[in-house]
């Protein structure tokens, strides 16, 4: 059996960076009979030469159905499968359900749809002001430098996902860079999700999830055909990708930087809220 065939009905959490996807992943991965690599799979995916932006003229992290050649997908599937464990640390011995969460995958929905036509996509939405504040914090922390030697880029080392049109952001102030990262990612992601059959798309609000984690995860797991047998606390612990103490009003520290760039993200945010209402 091919490695591709050993991954059945995989679940991909997709969102803009810093939307709380690590927290959702670290919670959902506790479902029985669900497998993951336990971490973001940047290296596993980009270890396939054709998928690294270096091989693509540093265009972006975008992958489409045209990139899903049989050989490349099989190589990636083997890299995934070789690292899979369930919630108890046990490796698989046959076909399994995969849970995958890597922020760059927000630009790769058509690719994964072509690789696994039975895949399910969970869109996570977080208030855009909170997300922009967290993205600025991530850039400043230098913990999320994805391409520190990006050819042609100036200023702080490139952080988070590489969006199409990034060269147009050279020389711009950080708030504008982050706003365009968010808007570009969101528009591409929503375009792609709208082309996926509705029965394979789920949506969840970060605010609803953290306010009622037990109910939210039970509903989500059931909708994905998963079981849920754990009792969560009223408040979830910080995720492993947390930069500073979680607080829904933390974005206000950046409000003077965020308010001027809200027009850049406004239209995409309206679309995102609409998709959230439609699929949640």
pLDDT value of residue 235: 72
**Domain boundaries along the sequence of the chain:** 11-279
- Alpha-helix runs per DSSP H in 86-173: 109-115, 128-141
Instruction: Output the CA angle 188-42-176, nearest 5 degrees.
Output: 45
263, pLDDT greater than 70: yes
Place of tokens 């969460």: 101
45-93, pLDDT tens digit by residue?
999 988 999 999 999 999 999 999 999 999 999 999 999 999 999 999 9
- Show the tokens assigned to 55: 């091989």
pLDDT recorded at residue 244: 61
CA distance 73 to 4: 7
Inter-helix orientation angle 262-279/174-194, to 10°: 30
**Residues 111-125: pLDDT tens digits?**
999 999 999 999 999
Contact 76, 123 (CB under 8 A): no
From residue 266, how far is each of 182, 260, 261 by CA, in Å? 11, 11, 9
Q: Which CATH architecture has domain 11-279?
A: 3-Layer(aba) Sandwich (3.40)
pLDDT of 242 higher than 80: no
Tell whether the model's pLDDT for residue 247 goes beyond 70. no
The reply to whether the predicted model has a pTM over 0.85 is yes
Helix (H, G, I), strand (E, B) or coil at 110: helix
The pLDDT value recorded for residue 241 is 64
The Cβ of residue 228 has, within 10 Å, a number of other Cβ atoms equal to 18
The overall average pLDDT reported for the chain is 93
Q: Which CA distances in Å does 223 have to 75, 119, 122, 217, 230?
A: 30, 13, 10, 10, 16
Which tokens in the block code for residue 65?
Answer: 């159905």
Instruction: Give me the mean pLDDT over the 193-219 stretch.
Output: 96
Longest Cα–Cα distance of the chain, Å, equals 56
Rounded to 5°, the CA angle 201-2-33 comes to 50
């Amino acid at each position: 059996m091919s490695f591709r065939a050993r991954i059945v009905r995989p679940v991909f959490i997709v969102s803009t960076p810093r939307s709380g996807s690590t927290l959702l992943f670290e919670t959902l991965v506790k479902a029985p009979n669900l497998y993951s690599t336990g971490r973001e799979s940047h290296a596993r995916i980009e270890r396939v030469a054709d998928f690294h932006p270096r091989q693509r003229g540093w265009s972006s992290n975008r992958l489409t159905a045209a990139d899903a050649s049989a050989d490349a997908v099989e190589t990636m599937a083997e890299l995934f499968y070789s690292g899979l464990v369930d919630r108890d640390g046990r490796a698989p011995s046959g076909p399994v359900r995969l849970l995958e969460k890597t922020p760059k995958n927000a630009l790769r929905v058509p690719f994964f749809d072509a690789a696994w036509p039975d895949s399910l996509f969970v869109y996570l939405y977080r208030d855009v002001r909170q997300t922009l504040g967290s993205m600025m914090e991530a850039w400043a922390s230098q913990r999320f430098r994805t391409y520190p030697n990006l050819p042609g880029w100036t200023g702080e080392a490139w952080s988070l996902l590489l969006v199409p049109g990034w060269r147009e952001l050279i020389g711009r102030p950080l708030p504008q860079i982050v706003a365009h990262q968010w808007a570009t990612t969101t528009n591409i992601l929503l375009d792609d999700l709208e082309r996926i059959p509705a029965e394979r798309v789920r949506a969840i609000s970060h605010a609803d999830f953290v306010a009622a984690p037990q109910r939210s995860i039970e509903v989500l797991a059931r909708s994905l055909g998963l079981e849920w047998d754990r009792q969560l606390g009223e408040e979830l612990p910080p995720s492993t990708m947390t930069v500073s103490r979680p607080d829904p009003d933390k974005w206000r520290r950046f409000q003077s930087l965020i308010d001027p760039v809200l027009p850049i993200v406004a239209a995409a945010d309206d679309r995102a809220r609409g998709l959230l209402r439609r699929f949640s």
